[in-house]
Structure 1
């Protein structure tokens, strides 16, 4: 039997990048995975079809994490169908990078809506019916601990909020047998931050290993936290950045 057989997993922002890798790994490990997407309908459908062709259980929900009603409705639809969610992965996020003086109120509202408010709402909705042994895994950023260059103030602010949220949540949910942990990636080769992008050389010089990580690196860590081996890890922030913050 696969390690996540009979588990129901919900992943926000799962159509591409780290999210798609997480969806793939959780499904490979036996979970029934439902993931959200916003505009990438074709990518979401392609991922779903590819995994279903392999006999894996994958579903999609169109839901914008910036819309409070949409993300809660998506989670509630899964709970209505399956009775509960065992594994919640708060993955959806955005990064608005610009000089501090150029940020607008819209930039702030959108960033906080997706990177923090959606995490709060999704976690609240999912854990109302989450059984003992459940897992809440949130994708943060190593920039919550160290900002190596300019233009990342708003993004790092939003991600640092998840650190305290994760610690408080561990206290609130620990008595229910639910663990909550934060995964803090560094430079990972994705569309948002490609290893051959205009800022990659600057980032690479700060990485102890000297190279970007792969989406599977993050997916493997998330899958570990979702499984039985991690049952005593709770309220922790696990940084996966090749040594950037060392």
Structure 2
């Protein structure tokens, strides 16, 4: 699927990257929530769909898209699956707003066809977590970075081993709008990070959580895992399951 139009904008010089294959894990019980889960840099949707299928969340439908293959500055322009271009993995790096908008629009598009009574969420790992957090900011502003309207109502956001894009301008953008502040305060966010992460340093995850909190995302939980590297462990996924069950008020199957 090409996103040359899905993120909007009439810039003729836009680069249209093709998104890869989307994997869907259907709910085993009564469908109550749909969560789009975003993989990390260089990965694909199928890697996570297998793990998510094994979780004890029978009422959740998981949608695991695959990012476009595109040149990545971090790899000297070598192509890789990536939700946006990254020059550096931290909240201080320059932001690829066009790439972030396109991926956030792809996520919103995947959620937009879900039934009206289903709770919607977005989560991810590493660069996928960064994209999930960017989606959270689009949700509270009601628009993408390019000012096109963001029309999906998110009920939960999960980020594992990630960071917050556009962190430098977030607080200023939120000032002066009670509606934006109210939306931020009511959006539940769970962030998890390992202290031994050698890809996205723990300090970036921790600082991103602090920035979100001080900007007004007061319903935010940050969990740290001692010695955990750039991967996930059952203990962390158990926490994700508990948190999602509570926030989305998931019933038994």
TM range (shorter): 0.3 to 0.5
Instruction: Please state which structure has a larger fraction of its residues in helix.
Output: 1
Instruction: Please state which structure has a larger fraction of its residues in strand.
Output: 2
- What TM-score do the two structures reach when normalised by structure 2? 0.44
